[in-house]
Structure 1
C-alpha cells in the first residue's frame, strides 16, 4: 500500500458509522458519498480544491454530464484499471450505462470499500461482482507535498 493510501484509509475510517446526509461532509455528523471524499480530502490537504455547488439527489440523471468523473480527473491521479487499484484509491461508480457516474467510495482492501450508503451510514462493503462491474473510474489521491 502507498503512503498516501495509508493516510486516506486512516481518514476514511473516521467516517465509518457517520449517518448519511445528502450534501454533508462531516465525520460523525453526516455525509453522502461525495462528502466522504471531500472530508477525506480536507483531512489530508486542508482545503478542498474547488467548491461544490448544491446538487439534487438525482443530479446525474438530469445533468447528463460526467461531472463526478471529470472532477476526479482534475484532482486525482488516474489508475488504469480496478486490477491495479490499491487500498486508499477512489472508486467512482455508474449505476446505469445511460446515466453519468454518481457514486464514490474508497477502496479499503482487495475486496472491500468504504462509502456512504444512502438511507443508512458510512460503511465498509464487500466489493462484490455487482459493485465491480459498476466501476466507471479508479483514481489515486495525490501525494502530500
Structure 2
C-alpha cells in the first residue's frame, strides 16, 4: 500500500535543521513549521499567520493556542479511532504544561513512527514509544 501524501511530503523534510518559528523545507523548521509546510503543499495558502510563540515545551498556564488553531483548521480524530499514518499528533510534554509539540504519524501498526522537528536534531523520524504515545492529547487529519 502506498503511503499517504502527507507522509511522503513530511519525508522530504527529513534532515531540515531545527529553526524556531521557521517553515522552510531544507532550510529550517520547528514542529509547527513542518505541519505548516505540509499544509501549504496539500492546500495552498496557510489559513492564518501563527502568532509569536516560545520554544519552551514546559510552558505552564495560558491558553491552548496550538490546540485551538489545530481545531480550527484540521479535522479532529476521535480518541477511540485507530492511529493511522498521516494523522497529526499533538503532544503535551509535561503535566500542567500547555500542548506544544506536533508530529505526523508516518507508520501505524506494530512499529509506529512519527516525523517531527526536534530541538538540536532538526526534522527526524522517531519511534512512537510508550513515553511519546502517553503525551498525545489530540489527533487530527488534514482536510
Please confirm whether the aligned pair reaches a TM-score higher than 0.5, indicating the same fold.
yes
- Number of the residue aligned with 1:26: 24
Matches within 5 A, 1:1-145: 6-58=4-56, 61=59, 64-81=62-79, 84-110=82-108, 111-142=112-143
Deviant stretches of 4+, over 6 Å:
none
TM superposition score normalised by structure 1: 0.89
For structure 1, the residue ranges without an aligned partner over 5 or more in a row are: none
CA distance in 2, matches of 1:59, 1:52: 17
8 Å Cα contact 1:33-1:105 kept in structure 2:
yes
Q: CA deviation at 1:88?
A: 0.5
SS of the equivalent of 2:4 reads helix
Distance change (3 Å), C-alpha of 1:90 and 1:82: farther
- Partners of 1:57 and 1:109 in 2: CA distance: 26
Cα RMSD of the aligned pairs, angstroms, is 1.9
The structure with the largest helix share of the pair is 1
Is the Cα contact below 8 Å between 1:6 and 1:87 reproduced in 2?
yes
